[in-house]
Chain A
Amino acid sequence: MKVMTCPLNGPRNISEFLYLGELLEMPDAKACEDREWAEHVWFSENKAGVVREWWCHLPSSYWFIAERDTVSDRILKTYTVAEYFEKSGAAQSGAAGEAR
């Protein structure tokens, strides 16, 4: 059993969580080129290494951010949304991510 630590619910079986993909910065939909928007919708970094992603704890419907190594399959750290964006100072992309 693989355990993920939810910032709200503590350590839980990873089967209770839903993986929602990379943390992306949303381009300005009104100003950006069509190609840029298409890439935002479909394309991925898909990095082999440390990634930051959206995850959701399904029973409590709680969204948060996890830092994970996609090569070693280790979960390095989990953040509440507020905590993460305070740290990185990217409040704007946080709002964008939540709207996904």
Chain B
Amino acid sequence: MPWALLKYGFSRRYPARVDIPPPQALRPSYDVVIIGGGGHGLAAAYYLAREHGIRKVAVLERGYVGGGNTGRNTTVIRSNYISPEAVRFYKKGVEMYQGLAGELGYNLLYSRRGQLTLAHTEASLRTFRLRAEVNRHLGVRSRMVDLEEIRDLVPCLNLSRRVRWPVLGGLWHADGGLARHDAVPWGYARRAVELGVEVHQRTEVTGILRSGNRVTGVSTSRGELSCGHVLQAVSGMSSVVAAMAGLRLPIRSFPLQAMVTQPVKPFLNPLVSSASLHAYVSQTARGELVIGGGSDPYSLYSTRSTLELKESLIAGVLGLFPFLHELRLVRQWAGITDMTPDYSPIMGHTPLEGYWLDAGWGTWGFKAIPVAGQSIAQAIATGRVPELIRPFALDRFYSFNLSNEAGATAASH
């Protein structure tokens, strides 16, 4: 058996598959340079090549593909937002995820589970009613559920009245789901590379070259290159990179801590979240429980961990599932979330011509990877920002026309 395996491994008939080629020399110029090799940047590269024939594209990544927030989030895919523009946008995102593994030919382990958001206050119930109506109006499956139905959906949930925050009702979102986070950037990178896109890992952008009010190129740790357009897709570093281009953004960066328990038998199909307890939990295909919550209380660029936040997250989850108290944590980590004042992203033009922004992804970026990539690729290729993402322009802050989603985030911050 080992010999057969070795023979197979070294056989020329089964060459090793290289998804992302090893480093190559940078070309002196590209049509589009994308800063950031996470899900958003790679998706944009893929759609530029695939849907618009723009293949002279370089994706520059300081670390490795998917090593930033794409690999650090908790992979919730849902569209039960509150403002019509956000519901339309994320609905498209959820729909794209449903067919994405087939399109990319890459197993994303996407699974539709449904998401249950719990209300512990009358105020939450009111918001849920509004969300359910807005969602239904726009064709998203969301509805209010009472305790009876909650018990059917998640039989092991603690619905006792004798707790600090008893569950009063819930919002059931049948379209909610999960995917394997690493597979998403890998899948996009692989297909983008096949179409001629260059992915340069360990290549840090150190400056943005400008001529007058137009971007002309970027300087990197491996030399300068010129380009027609630059797309910034660097969640967690948006303000720092934008400052190189002379831009200030309406963003403040906070760490968000998450963790995973040891794997156990499947018992929790839906994703369960509670804004009042500042926690959400889901069970992965492997059986691990992923626990996440709100961002840290003060701004920071460090992905350090704190015991206080872990304790508060765990207290929330144990309030919902007390029997989990014997589980061990096996991993914990943090990502940097770029929070905007209205909890909506910023996509599109900037005051610097040719410099495009895909930023402000706070705690809601993973679910939008396909739809944001496709929309921003269309904007760059055609010069016209698609209707779908126009409400999320940077200009909205100048006209005080914000798109408030603070009430529809999985855990309030």
> Hey, which bits of chain A sit against chain B, CB under 8 A?
1-2, 14-15, 18-19, 21, 34-35, 38-39, 42-48, 70-73
Contacts and interface: CB of A to CB of B under 8 A. Distances in A.
Interface in B395-409: 397-400
A38 B400 contact: yes
Contact of A42 (B240, B300, B308, B341): B341
B251 A44 contact: yes
B300 A39 contact: no
A44 B399 CA distance: 17
Contacts of B239: 44-48
Interface in B287-303: 297-302
A1 B248 contact: no
B252 A2 contact: no
Contacts of A44: 239, 248-252
A56 to B, nearest CB: 12
B300 A46 contact: no
Contacts of A45: 239, 248
A19 B302 contact: no
Contacts, number: 58
Instruction: Please name the 3 residue pairs, one residue from A and one from B, whose CB atoms are nearest each other, closest first.
Output: A19-B298, A46-B239, A42-B250
B142 interface: no
Determine which residue in A15, A42, A46 has the highest number of CB atoms from chain B within 10 A of its CB, and name it: A46
A1 B301 CA distance: 19
Interface string B327-360: 0000000000000010000000000000000000
Contact of B398 (A2, A21, A38, A48): A38
B249 A43 contact: yes
B250 A43 contact: yes
Interface string B219-257: 000000000000000000101100000001111110000
Contacts of A72: 302
B341 A19 contact: no
Contacts of B249: 43-44, 46
Nearest to A51: B299
A43 B308 contact: no
Given A2-B306, A70-B253, 14 more contacts: A19-B297, A35-B398, A38-B397, A39-B248, A39-B397, A42-B250, A43-B248, A43-B249, A44-B239, A44-B250, A48-B239, A48-B301, A70-B299, A73-B302
B126 interface: no
Contacts of B341: 42
Contacts of B306: 2
Nearest to A19: B298
B380 to A, nearest CB: 24
28 contacts: A2-B306, A18-B297, A19-B299, A21-B252, A21-B299, A34-B398, A35-B398, A38-B397, A38-B398, A38-B399, A38-B400, A39-B397, A42-B341, A42-B397, A44-B249, A44-B250, A44-B252, A45-B239, A45-B248, A46-B251, A46-B252, A46-B253, A47-B239, A48-B239, A70-B300, A70-B301, A71-B302, A73-B304
A1 B308 CA distance: 7
Contacts of B308: 1, 15
A25 B68 CA distance: 33
Interface in B363-413: 397-400
Contacts of B400: 38
A65 to B, nearest CB: 14
Contacts of A71: 301-302
B44 to A, nearest CB: 23
Contacts of B307: 1
Nearest to B242: A46
Contacts of A47: 239
